[in-house]
Amino acid sequence: MTPDLTGKTAIITGASRGIGEATARHFASLGANVALLARNRSALENIAKDIGHRAIALPCDVAQWNDTKLAVAKSKEIFGSIDILVNNAGTIDPIAHIADVNPFEWGQAVDINLKGAFYMLRATAPEMCAQGAGVVINISSGAASSALEGWSHYCATKAALLSLTRTAHKELGPKGINVVGLSPGTVATDMQRSIRSSGLNPVSQLAWESHIPAAWVAQAIAWLTTDDARTFDGTDFSLKTENGRDTVGLPTT
């Protein structure tokens, strides 16, 4: 269940906290070089310093095309290859009804959740195609196929991200690049605090203890880099079922 990522290079977005940070630490423990991308420079640098020589901090706003191009180029320059992309950066804000939501903030969520994932895919795909191999893991959500009050931005962008996963799989799969999504369920991160404080829809009513730890998601992401996971390419693999967790080697209860 535990892959060997020795010599592989992974670019991880949203790496300053939560799922992204947990994934960076887990991947480095498996032997991977990790490029940590996020807007919070100080947090990235502290995490990279803690991980050690296998990690680099690359401040980056994934909603800006030039930022993503430069970050990918720097990763390639330092580590020599780009083998794994984890598109994790995302936002749940602003949680609000359609009739009340700030249009500018709604658009910012699209820029981060959807355009950011596309920009990273667009920047890394040529490098992976040149190598003839690579894995792209898009962090999705059950919101991709559900309608939740106050989450019009999140549901719409995650649905679009799933469609991007399917399209990228169709285009890039024949070139040796595996593209897969991960729907982790609810995770004990700061995002859940924002959801809780909104008071909208049933997710905000969940007890903190019902959320899975970010370390579990990191383990699932690592498993999705293995050959055993290839049957799920072009889809969202779900951790919300006992079967899904068992497949990855996680507790089922």
75-118 tens-digit pLDDT: 999 999 999 999 999 999 999 999 999 999 999 999 999 999 99
Q: Are 12 and 88 in contact (CB under 8 A)?
A: yes
Residue percentage of the chain with pLDDT more than 70: 100
Answer with the residue of higher pLDDT: 1 or 58.
58
CB atoms inside a 10 Å sphere around CB 118: 18
Taking the C-alpha atoms of 193, 240, 111 and 202 in order, what is their torsion angle to the nearest 10 degrees? -50
DSSP letters spanning 32-72: -EEEEEES-HHHHHHHHHHH-TTEEEEE--TTSHHHHHHHH
What number does CATH give the domain 9-184+214-238? 3.40.50.720
The CA distance from 15 to 58, in Å, is 10
Task: Tell the burial category of 128 from Cβ atoms under 10 Å away from its Cβ (0-12, 13-18, 19+).
Answer: buried
Nearest to 88 by CA among 215, 178, 185, 181: 181
Confidence of residue 1 (pLDDT cuts 50, 70, 90): low
Query: Is residue 253's pLDDT more than 80?
Result: no
pLDDT for the residue numbered 145: 93
The CA distance from 45 to 36, in Å, is 9
Query: Distances from the Cα of 185 to the Cαs of 172, 240, 242, in angstroms?
Result: 27, 5, 12
Residue 224 DSSP code: T
Catalytic center residues:
154
The CA distance from 178 to 137, in Å, is 8
Query: Is residue 132's pLDDT more than 90?
Result: yes
